[in-house]
Amino acid sequence: MLDPVTRDGPLLLLCLAFALQGCLFAEPPEFNPRQTGVTFDLAVADPLPTKLVQFGTIAAPVAQQFTVKVISEDAGEEVWWAMHVNLNVGNDQFPDAGPNFLEPSTWTDKTREIRFTYQPLDDRPCRQLTLMACHRSSFNLDTSQCQPEAHEDTAMAVWWGTLGDGTISDCPQAAQTP
């Protein structure tokens, strides 16, 4: 025959478990996302950066819309962007689109995109368009460019475009250093 303590032991433990205050499981850890660098999904960019963009003729230049998907974990910080024509190959001083910004988002947000329209305002037969984006802390508002030391936070896309009968050989060459 079982004694009363052995026989009712499991029941007694169950009653004690319900009588104790508190939770048997720890609270889940708080999720603090780590900021990632900004990236562009260039495989779905429109137009593709691998294609030469035709801006019409010198007599009738045509505006072209550009769309690029942006992916990043922002940890609450805005993503700033600007587009420059002939950046580092000409006398580019100011952005030709932007600066502008996207609200902070997460890596899983696949709907964010940068859109801008560009139409040539001169008769140069070829031009280079450079789009750059980075987080606000890496963006220089005076130059509308991402800081050079922030290369891990910077996304860039480059398109080459022609006007009229221009070809890629008419495009500007990199600046030569002495």
Token pair belonging to 94: 């100011």
Token pair belonging to 38: 């900004």
Domain ranges, residue 71: 39-170
Residue 140 within any structural domain of the chain:
yes
Residue 46 within any structural domain of the chain:
yes
Residue 164 within any structural domain of the chain:
yes
> What is the domain count for the chain?
1
Residue 51 within any structural domain of the chain:
yes
User: CA angle, corner 129, sides to 127 and 130, nearest 5?
Assistant: 145
Record the pTM.
0.76
Compute the radius of gyration of the chain from its Cα atoms. 29
Residue 14 within any structural domain of the chain:
no
pLDDT tens, position by position, for the chain (178 residues)? 555 555 655 655 555 555 555 555 667 666 677 899 999 999 999 999 999 999 998 889 999 999 999 999 999 999 999 999 888 776 666 678 889 999 999 989 989 999 999 999 888 888 889 999 999 999 999 989 999 998 899 999 999 999 887 777 777 665 544 4
CATH number for the domain spanning 75: value is 2.60.40.10
**Which contiguous run of DSSP H or E holds residue 15?**
helix 9-19
Instruction: Give long-range contacts, CB 8 A cutoff, 24+ apart: 105-111.
Output: 105/72, 105/74, 106/33, 106/73, 106/74, 107/33, 107/36, 107/71, 107/72, 107/73, 109/71, 110/69, 110/71
Q: Max Cα separation, the chain?
A: 108
